[in-house]
Amino acid sequence: MEHEFFFAQIFNRYLAHPLLGREIPDHVIMVLYAAVFLIVFSAVVSRKFSVDKPTRIQQLLELAVAFVVGLMREIIGPGGERFFPLLGSLGLFILVCNLMGLIPGFLSPTSNINVTLGLALVVFVYYNAQGVKEHGVLKYLRHFAGPSLLLAPLLFIIEIISHLARPFSLSVRLFGNILSEELILSIINGKLFPFVAALPVMLLALVASTIQAFIFITLTMVYLAGAVEHGPEAEAERGHAG
């Protein structure tokens, strides 16, 4: 298998082939690069954190964390910040993966449906697990039936289909947008304009990549909010108990 991307070739030539005796697909290699980058970045940056003299990177990260936590509290409700470890990790990972395609020799792993589907399945399993943890299995399943006993069988089927479609919609949305960016940039850089002339398009791709990461984690918040929310009756019971 011939690789188009330089850093995938390097990885396969000096690591995959000697150790495994075979080549690894480009998107898997790029996922590994993204993971290693985030681990090294976190280790290096966290050593310089300071309460008295915060660095610019620390200030930027604090602003981003405060914004995301505030959004989580608004969408999910009080206590929504407990889901930040997953949402923060997802947001950073997707952002880095999206932006990798802007660097010559790299590929955005999120331009491959296998990667985006894996991310979407993580979200699907996580928010359903949180729903079961919050309500119990029977009460969580009762959410799908709605308030009307007469319409419960129909609503239950519709809700199940709707939830099963969520990983598909999440993965295809991210995959389609990042793949289109990759194709446009490759056409402009390779056939129409030199690299410097394509910089305005790359700037737009930078903005679009950030927006796609934001949309992904925002939709995850919405799914979590629906999974852990309590109905009016449960809220009333909590109020009486308090």
What is the tens place of the pLDDT at every residue in 206-228?
999 999 999 999 999 999 999 99
What is the pLDDT, as a whole number, of residue 239?
A: 41
Q: What are 108's two structure tokens?
A: 């955005």
- Looking at residue 181, its pLDDT comes to 85
**pLDDT score at 193:** 58
Burial (CB < 10 A; 0-12, 13-18, 19+), residue 241, is exposed
Contacts of 163 (CB under 8 A, 6+ apart): 124, 128, 144
CA distance 94 to 97: 5
3-state secondary structure 182-218: HHHHHHHHHHHCCCHHHHHHHHHHHHHHHHHHHHHHH
Convert the pLDDT of each residue in 42-72 to its tens digit: 999 888 888 888 889 899 999 999 999 999 9
The pLDDT value recorded for residue 145 is: 81
All residue ranges of the chain with pLDDT < 50 are: 1-3, 233-242
| pLDDT at residue 161 in the model | 93
3-class secondary-structure state, position 76: coil
Place of tokens 């090294």: 40
Q: Can you tell me which residue has the tokens 């969520």? A: 166
Instruction: Please tell me the distance from the alpha carbon of residue 175 to that of residue 101, in angstroms, as a whole number.
Output: 13
pTM (two decimals): 0.86
CA distance linking residue 127 with residue 220, whole number of Å: 8
